[in-house]
Amino acid sequence: MNSLIDALGLDLRILIAQFVNFAILVFVLWKFAYKPVFKILEERREKIKKGIEDSEKSEKRLEEAESEKNEIIAEARRQANELIEEAKGKADIRYQEIVNKAKGDLQVVIEDEKEKIASYRKQAFNEVKKDAAILITSALEKILDEKIDEKKDKEIIENIIKDLN
């Protein structure tokens, strides 16, 4: 046994030193290599997980915003259509109103004009009548002045008086 130990070069002091060193190595690697590496791996994993979750969230939000946008646009379009319809209706009514009013006005104007024309006519007629009477009178006077002598005049007057009677 002793010769075997000698042959293998075993020395208890070296063995102890090696054991202690190895134990220290295990401890140091555990404390300063494995643990921090696992920690940072875990942290990175968390970070990546969070990043993916965040991106999923934001994507979802984007989708929501998109659908909301579409909804709003549809709503706006619907409202606009409604407004247009309403405006059209109103415009129709207003158009009718205006047309009717214009028609009424026109009627009034026409009536007015008719009346005016009629009164003008009457006036003109009266004037013509007057002028004609004057004209006739003057013509008559002329004729009477020249061709009717006193005798005739007398006759006519007498005839008129006769007629009158």
Residues that bind other proteins (CB under 8 A): 6-11, 13-15, 17-19, 21-34, 36-38, 40-41, 43-44, 47
Closest approach of other proteins to the CB of residue 35, in Å: 9
Closest approach of other proteins to the CB of residue 49, in Å: 14
CB closer to other proteins out of 16 and 136: 16
SS3 content of the chain, % helix, strand, coil (to 5): 95, 0, 5
CB closer to other proteins out of 32 and 95: 32
Helix (H, G, I), strand (E, B) or coil at 8: helix
Half-sphere exposure of 136 (CA within 13 A, CB side): 6
Rounded to an integer, what distance in angstroms lies between the CA atom of residue 151 and that of residue 165? 21
Closest approach of other proteins to the CB of residue 15, in Å: 5
Closest approach of other proteins to the CB of residue 21, in Å: 5
CB closer to other proteins out of 22 and 95: 22
CB closer to other proteins out of 3 and 165: 3
Backbone φ, ψ for residue 36 (5° rounding): -60, -40
